[in-house]
Amino acid sequence: MSRRSLNETTGSSNPATKFLEWKSNDKCFAYYDREAKEQVKVQLPIKVQFLEHFHNVKGWNDASSSGIYSNEVKFISKEPLKVKAFKGGDIAEGLYSEIRGKIRDAGGKYYRSVYAVNDTGEIINLQFKGAVVSAYSDFMNENEGKCESSFIEINSFDKKKKGATEYTVPTFEIGKAFTAKQNEFANDKYKDIVSYFENYKAKDVSEVEVEVDQESDLDF
């Protein structure tokens, strides 16, 4: 897949229609439906076309009783994060390695933000944290070169244990290669990501999609 640099066109609103997070106890993904005001479960299997991934921070700030959010960056060791609480204002700004203590103390957690196309042709965002980040990183270390020409499939999950706590993480696999039409479609959707992030980087951090519940505050 021929991909352009994130330095070309401009756009405004986030192109993702859903923001999915792994629910360890339910062994599936879920997203918050703002109209219905409820969590909607997305059961396995899931098959997506990878577009791009970033780094960001989310969480819950007890002091302000509100969610924590940040801008998304491509290179976390080079690009500064601006971390805020919806009701509490600024928390920290700088490279993640320099402000991670402040982020943790405020209730924030590191996330891997993955943009992809689902089986209905929508751009979705997969929000990974904790052990799911590790599983995803291991997968990408071995397969990133294949992800721009083949589907990523999540067909099952692994059971894990840390101390007395049992949890699950999704398993990632390389699926079938794209057809020429599917490849062209993914390239067109990638243009939406390029457009959004060029404009996004030119502005101050916007309030990104943040929904926090009790389970999402866990590291698993």
Arithmetic mean of pLDDT over the chain: 89
Into how many domains does the chain fold?
A: 2
Does the predicted TM-score (pTM) go above 0.75? yes
pLDDT-derived band at 198 (thresholds 50, 70, 90) equals confident
Domain boundary among 5, 31, 46: 46
Show the domain range for 31: 16-46
**What is the pairing mode between strands 81-85 and 89-94?**
antiparallel
Q: Are residue 56 and residue 87 in the same domain, yes or no?
A: yes
Q: Give the pLDDT score at 63.
A: 95
For residue 70, give the nearest of 92, 48, 40, 50 by alpha carbon.
Answer: 92
No. of helices (H) and no. of strands (E), the chain = 3, 13
